[in-house]
Amino acid sequence: MNNIQDCYGINENGHLTIGGADTVCLAEKYGTPLYVLDENKIRRQCAIYRDAIKKHFPEGSMPFYASKALSFVDIYKIVKSENIGIDIVSPGELYTAISAGFDVSNACFHGNNKTDADIEYGITSGVGYFVADSREEVEAIDRIAKKLGKTQKILLRITPGIDPHTLKAISTGRVDSKFGTPLIEGKAEEITSFALSKENAILCGFHCHIGSQIFEPAPFIDAATVMISFLSDMKDKFGFEADVLNLGGGFAVKYTAEQGEVNISEYIGEIAKNVTNLCEKYSVKMPKIFMEPGRSIVAAAGITLYTVGTRKEIPGFKNYISIDGGMPDNPRYALYQSPYTVVCANRANAPADYKATVCGRCCESGDLIAEDIKVQKMDRGDTLAVLVTGAYNYSMASNYNRIPRPPIVIVKDGDDRLSVRRESFEDLIKNEVL
């Protein structure tokens, strides 16, 4: 197992633990498939960002947890008590955050196509910042704020034209992107001038997000360089000094023993050094810096537990281990071939010397979780754990093949509590007009 994250362990019974809790006991108590989250690990990750940003950037700088990575009521409660903001991308995330009692004045509302209804809901709920993706959105935010007799702070999303060297599907800051406004042909300048002409949409600064699962600080520094040079242009052209620069999210997480580690505080320190120098070089006031980590807050804190069913050996081809979940609870291998570490939770100390492909239960050949990896030889009834599933698993889960979504159990200091119930068959048809 190589202890790829500090919240996993193996106890005296040879069982995998997370946050000190025995995963085999959890699987027995709550059934499988089961998402398990270690609350203390999430809190530690929040603290790393909060403390590093506070240390290196001007007052008012802060992290905003990108809740698309994992959105349910309890996560907003945890994040709220850690005193960090949130990034939301839909009225559904906004509603969930409000249901958790989150003060959404500490929220950035994202999305490349917010409807008028989304905008009105956000403004009336008191969302701190809208990240406006286009000229139409600036116009709509201004118009709706005026109608409501309010003003609304906005940031403009700019695509800095940086290739973050990650998967194309999760790379967002290149010029050819559905997100934001590109710098080319004066487009970003044009939208800035348009936003500055508005009375109810109040321009506070700029945003960029270059992609996800990025292992190096260099692409962030490249993006900051482009953005600060742009800030300087906007100061020269319009006398506009940005109060906020939001650098987005994207720090990578270690999913397998082969992958490297991101030292978040160190990287933030490096980015800060560069941002400070760039502001000096371009004679712009150092803005408040916002960052929007999603994956690196919650991924490592989560595992998914399954029960093994059929094991099938196809001589000369593959050995398949089937589990009672799959792409409905974790579509990331099917979508991106994202690598995962798999462990036999009830024999975690046994040698991982069996080459296997872990497959789900859907009627679909691509329903795989990992291909040709080394694991313990597992048989029907064993508990199989997939590690580092806290981000973009529950939030991307579906009911494909009418499979109910698993519950979420949160462990803290060795205790466990049910946070999200397992979906029932009744839930599956609850919206159907019978």
Catalytic (active-site) positions: 363
b/e sequence 391-409, b meaning 16+ C-beta within 10 Å: bbbbbbbeebeebbbbbbb
- Which of 67, 212, 341, 346 is the binder for ligand LLP (CB under 6 A)? 212
Assess 332 for contact with ligand LLP (CB under 6 A): yes
Give the interface segment with ligand LLP, choosing from 196-204, 247-255, 302-310, 343-351 (CB under 6 A). Answer: 247-255
Assess 295 for contact with ligand LLP (CB under 6 A): yes
Q: CB 380 → ligand LLP: shortest distance, Å?
A: 30
- Rounded Cα distance between 293 and 69, Å, is 9
Give the interface segment with ligand LLP, choosing from 192-200, 246-254, 312-320, 382-390 (CB under 6 A). Answer: 246-254
SS3 label, residue 243: coil
Q: CB 419 → ligand LLP: shortest distance, Å?
A: 20
Assess 298 for contact with ligand LLP (CB under 6 A): no
Binding footprint of ligand LLP, residue count (CB under 6 A): 21
Residue 387: burial class (beta carbons within 10 Å; 0-12, 13-18, 19+): buried
Assess 254 for contact with ligand LLP (CB under 6 A): no
Assess 249 for contact with ligand LLP (CB under 6 A): yes
- Tell me which residues in 303-322 interact with ligand LLP (CB under 6 A): none
Measure the CA dihedral 346/351/355/356, to 10°. Answer: 10
SS3 label, residue 43: helix
- Which of 122, 205, 250, 287 is the binder for ligand LLP (CB under 6 A)? 250
- Which of 209, 254, 361, 412 is the binder for ligand LLP (CB under 6 A)? 209
Looking at the Cβ atoms of 33 and 249, the one nearer to ligand LLP is 249
Give the interface segment with ligand LLP, choosing from 14-22, 262-270, 287-295, 425-433 (CB under 6 A). Answer: 287-295
- Rounded Cα distance between 209 and 136, Å, is 20
> How many Å separate Cα 412 from the centre of its chain?
21
CA nearest neighbour of 206 among 234, 165, 170, 171? 234
| Helices assigned H by DSSP within 100-134 | 116-125
Q: CB 140 → ligand LLP: shortest distance, Å?
A: 19
- Tell me which residues in 5-64 interact with ligand LLP (CB under 6 A): none
Give the interface segment with ligand LLP, choosing from 145-153, 245-253, 351-359, 411-419 (CB under 6 A). Answer: 245-253
Residue 325: burial class (beta carbons within 10 Å; 0-12, 13-18, 19+): buried
Q: CB 118 → ligand LLP: shortest distance, Å?
A: 15
């494909």: which residue's tokens?
A: 400
Q: CB 134 → ligand LLP: shortest distance, Å?
A: 14
Measure the CA dihedral 17/23/26/28, to 10°. Answer: -150
Looking at the Cβ atoms of 293 and 404, the one nearer to ligand LLP is 293
Across the strands, what pairs with 385?
Answer: 305, 343
Give the interface segment with ligand LLP, choosing from 15-23, 227-235, 291-299, 372-380 (CB under 6 A). Answer: 291-299
Assess 248 for contact with ligand LLP (CB under 6 A): yes
Assess 205 for contact with ligand LLP (CB under 6 A): no
Looking at the Cβ atoms of 164 and 416, the one nearer to ligand LLP is 164
- Rounded Cα distance between 117 and 141, Å, is 11
- Which of 161, 294, 326, 406 is the binder for ligand LLP (CB under 6 A)? 294
Question: Cβ distance 29 to 415 under 8 Å?
Answer: no
CA nearest neighbour of 144 among 117, 106, 104, 112? 117
Q: CB 246 → ligand LLP: shortest distance, Å?
A: 8
Residue 311 has which token pair?
Answer: 């094991």
Looking at the Cβ atoms of 48 and 378, the one nearer to ligand LLP is 48
Assess 170 for contact with ligand LLP (CB under 6 A): yes
Q: Which residues contact 244 (CB under 8 A, 6 or more apart)?
A: 129, 155, 204, 205, 206, 287, 288, 289, 290
Looking at the Cβ atoms of 41 and 295, the one nearer to ligand LLP is 295
Residue 428 has which token pair?
Answer: 């599956």
- Rounded Cα distance between 230 and 89, Å, is 25
Assess 166 for contact with ligand LLP (CB under 6 A): no
Q: How many residues in total does the chain contain?
A: 434
Looking at the Cβ atoms of 56 and 110, the one nearer to ligand LLP is 110
- Which of 296, 341, 346, 357 is the binder for ligand LLP (CB under 6 A)? 296
Which positions lie near ligand LLP, rule CB under 6 A? 66, 68-69, 87, 110, 170, 172, 209, 212, 248-251, 292-296, 332, 336, 392
